[in-house]
Structure 1
Amino acid sequence: MVAICLLRLIFLNLNVRESRSVLVHQLSKKLTQRIPFKTKGIHVASAFHPTRSMFFAATKKDVRVYDLLKQKLVKKLEPGVREISSLAIHPGGDNAIVGSKDGKLCWFDMDLSSKPYKVLRCHGKDITSVAYHRSYPLFVSSSDDCTAYVFHGMVYSDLNQNPLIVPLEILRGHSSFDGRGVMDCKFHPRQPWLFTAGADSLIKLYCH
């Protein structure tokens, strides 16, 4: 698959003479190329589809989904937030979460609509990072309010059944520094463990 060949490596080109462009690096061929699409706005996050040749490019206002093989835009996700800050794609590939700078977390069921299936107003400050677990039905958002919210997010194989989203835990392990809180969050690839990195120069591991 193209997504595997590209090794999910993305670089944001900040050339002042051009609008900000997204470059894709093929490590196996030692080649770099600009994605062959006209992009609008400043990119804030990018991701590959886990199994298909699809590429997600998030600007401050929307998320555009491109087919790399057909070289065309196939979908535009519109969260309706003040400014997008982060993006994550569900391991199944049909759902996504988008974090915003007004503290909103938007879940998209891309088979259902280009609008959010659910909007969670959980943080008092900017959301800095969002992530899905690879194998467990878990997702997380971290924020400058020094918290990380962990959710149960079950996606069913029955397309007629909507995703189940249940809040599980609020983690408060970091302190504020210079107005910033939790800067990033990542799940362990196999265990139900969560790593958070804070502006207080600490990395913390949470285990269930």
Structure 2
Amino acid sequence: MKWSERTIASALAQQTFNRKYLVVVPNCNWTGYEADILAVTENLRLIDVEIKISRADLKADAKKDKWWRQEYVGSPLRVDDLNASGRLIRRRHVYAQQFELREWPHKVWKHYYALPADIWDDSLQGALGSPSSGVLLLNDTPHGLRISCRRPAKPCRDADRLTPAAAVNIARLASLRMWDAYHQVDQLRQRKEAA
């Protein structure tokens, strides 16, 4: 089988998230960082799923900004920018930056990686963005795609529940995405008919 993000996302939406979740949104930036799938649970918590179709893609994920908390520390230093003749162009303040690894992406209750089972081996656990992330493996069987949980995600106890207004906002986004997809299908159909 030729794996794609869309194939994996569709299987997850139809098999894993179809009954227990209020809404499932693909390619969502609502948390401030892109999630391949963002699911809202019945108790208004967020689940972020990163879909990976290669080992290199999985290993590169740990470098994403969503895993790092950036903090400005110390007192600001005043820096004067001067032009070639020594005249002041601007005055700015420079802060020292400190980076700390996050255990969960911002606002997320649980985080998962979803990937084909044939590219996974247990040596990849150290390459994940967080030791709290879960792993969902997909197998192509004669009866269709099957999803198994290789490692459950550890929940973030500090993750806030969404407000009802935020849940409605995410549901609105999912609805708009659906209508955009219908529009794209219609345009493709019209192009084929015109050809």
- TM-score tier after normalising by the smaller chain length: under 0.3
Task: Using structure 2 for the length normalisation, give the TM-score.
Answer: 0.24
Bigger relative contact order (CA 8 A; separation at least 6): 2
Task: Using structure 1 for the length normalisation, give the TM-score.
Answer: 0.23
